[in-house]
Amino acid sequence: MLIITNAAELATCTSGYKGPKIGKDFRDCGIIKNGALAVMGEKIVAVGSTERILRRFPPRRGDHIIDASGKIVMPGFVDCHTHAVYAGSRAEEYRAKLGGVSYADAHKKRGGIFLTVAATRSATVDTLYRSARNTLSRMAACGTTTVEIKSGYGLSTESELRILRVIQELARSGPLDVAATFLGAHTVPLEYEHDRASYIRMVVNTMLPAIKKEGLAEYCDVFCDPLGFTPGEARKILTAAMRHGLRVRVHAEQTRRFGGMRVAAEFGASSADHCDFARTGDIRLLRTAGTTAVLFPGVQLHLMEWEKRGRMRARAEIIKKAGVPLALATDHNPGSSPIYSLKLIADLGMRFFGLTYEECLNAITINAAHALDRGDMLGSLEAGKQADILIADAPTIAEYLHAVGDGALVYVIKKGRVLFPRRGALR
Ligand SMILES: [Zn+2]
């Protein structure tokens, strides 16, 4: 048995009811002072005050006791949106951006996603796997214990399947939980530039059936955007995906208001992601559909979109007021968000969107778990849930979140097993 005792603060992030946190509940992360919890195998069996837990589970020989005096305990972070399997670097492109070239301009000049697609297509399975595994190791060291990973840098049947098989292997080899998403509709590849309809037919008639046959994905995502697919094209793809038993996510209103959130609502998507240009009416649609809005302050940081700050702050307010669950994610990718740390994302959620400490913690734990339809298993510290636990060297949750960066994390525990502070990579 693993018993963690004497936490100065233990944030349970437990939802007030079944489902993600919204309203007043979103502003509360369920702090227990002098908290403790007990873990048997992969699961949490009890959470409460140290006195109560020790009375119920008096330590025996062989128990692993962690004294968390002066420290905080919180749920493992859940990164509900990443593009973590890719090859190639975009560092030189960023140099051009620093010189004034925009993301949209880079895309038009066949840089951007196309650079990564070319590098990913020519990379071996082994290279892709090693690189992604390294990425996941870095994320885990920053507290991420569950991660969603999208394909989308292959854009041909063969290379999309290859990426999804790499994601499957990452899920199989652990220790992180991995949710696999097919994003063949990331953008139209250059060879289909003048024949979009054929590419969409290939996604629908060849890629999706092959994915279904091999059981390679849980979700289908579409980049519904002027740089990606129209709402009509997205509907075609998502209808086919649902027919093959996949659930839906949508990249919506990222570079302009384009109708992606309406599509997300129509398909009862698990999440609508980005929402930068969403209007109040679009956001209200999500409430009825039970869709989580996922925001990416890291993209704004990396792309230096300071002018969006006021609008995104207002957007976050509208999402909260509408009673739509809000989650934050890294959107880890080599172009617009080479960010590994969800703690950094929480830091930015406060500074860019005006979210509180508690809201940010809920947005990268319980609400992100619900965005991956795993809210019943992960995202909070309560009896019966998976023992995904972080311990940080800070006297309060507020102190931990107030300090910018990752410095204070001392333990990362996944399914009851200590992953960190071991030295080196995951094993
Ligand atoms: Zn994305």
Contact 35, 54 (CB under 8 A): no
Contact 154, 116 (CB under 8 A): no
The pLDDT of residue 111 is 75
For residue 279, the CA-to-ligand 1 centroid distance in Å is: 20
Domain that holds residue 190: 78-371
Average pLDDT, the chain: 95
Q: Nearest to residue 25, comparing CAs of 276, 386, 309, 370? A: 370
Does the pLDDT at position 424 exceed 50? no
For residue 276, the CA-to-ligand 1 centroid distance in Å is: 13
Mean pLDDT throughout 188-214? Answer: 97
Q: What is the pLDDT of residues 372-422, one digit of tens each?
A: 999 999 999 999 999 999 999 999 999 999 999 877 899 999 999 999 875
Confidence band for 427, pLDDT divided at 50, 70 and 90: very low
Q: Show the DSSP H helices in 79-156 as ranges.
A: 91-98, 103-108, 113-121, 125-141
For residue 331, the CA-to-ligand 1 centroid distance in Å is: 5
Q: What is the pLDDT of residues 54-64, one digit of tens each?
A: 999 999 999 99
The pLDDT of residue 105 is 72
Q: What is the pLDDT of residues 261-291, one digit of tens each?
A: 999 999 999 999 999 999 999 999 999 999 9
Contact 72, 9 (CB under 8 A): yes
For residue 57, the CA-to-ligand 1 centroid distance in Å is: 44
Confidence band for 426, pLDDT divided at 50, 70 and 90: very low
Cis status of the peptide bond prior to 338, with omega within 30 of 0: no
With pLDDT > 70 as the criterion, what percentage of the chain qualifies? 97
Does the pLDDT at position 425 exceed 50? no
Confidence band for 423, pLDDT divided at 50, 70 and 90: very low
DSSP 187: S
- Tell me, yes or no, whether 356 lies in a domain: yes
Say whether 251 counts as a known binding-site residue: yes
Say whether 244 counts as a known binding-site residue: no
d(Cα 279, Cα 261) in Å, to the nearest integer?
10
Confidence band for 164, pLDDT divided at 50, 70 and 90: very high
Terminal C-alpha separation, the chain: 21
Confidence band for 120, pLDDT divided at 50, 70 and 90: very high
Together in a domain, 84 and 60: no
Does the pLDDT at position 53 exceed 90? yes
Together in a domain, 164 and 220: yes
Q: Nearest to residue 350, comparing CAs of 359, 341, 340, 338? A: 359
- Tell me, yes or no, whether 426 lies in a domain: no
Q: What is the pLDDT of residues 210-230, one digit of tens each?
A: 999 999 999 999 999 999 999
Domain total of the chain: 2
Token pair for 408: 């204070």
For residue 10, the CA-to-ligand 1 centroid distance in Å is: 32
The pLDDT of residue 103 is 63
- Tell me, yes or no, whether 236 lies in a domain: yes
Together in a domain, 251 and 122: yes
Together in a domain, 301 and 399: no
Half-sphere exposure of 149 (CA within 13 A, CB side): 31
- Tell me, yes or no, whether 96 lies in a domain: yes
What's the Rg (C-alpha) of the chain? 21
Q: CATH number, domain at 45?
A: 2.30.40.10
With pLDDT > 90 as the criterion, what percentage of the chain qualifies? 90
Q: Nearest to residue 49, comparing CAs of 37, 59, 57? A: 37
d(Cα 88, Cα 38) in Å, to the nearest integer?
43
Contact 191, 228 (CB under 8 A): no
Give the residue carrying structure tokens 């990396």. 302
The pLDDT of residue 109 is 64
Together in a domain, 117 and 262: yes
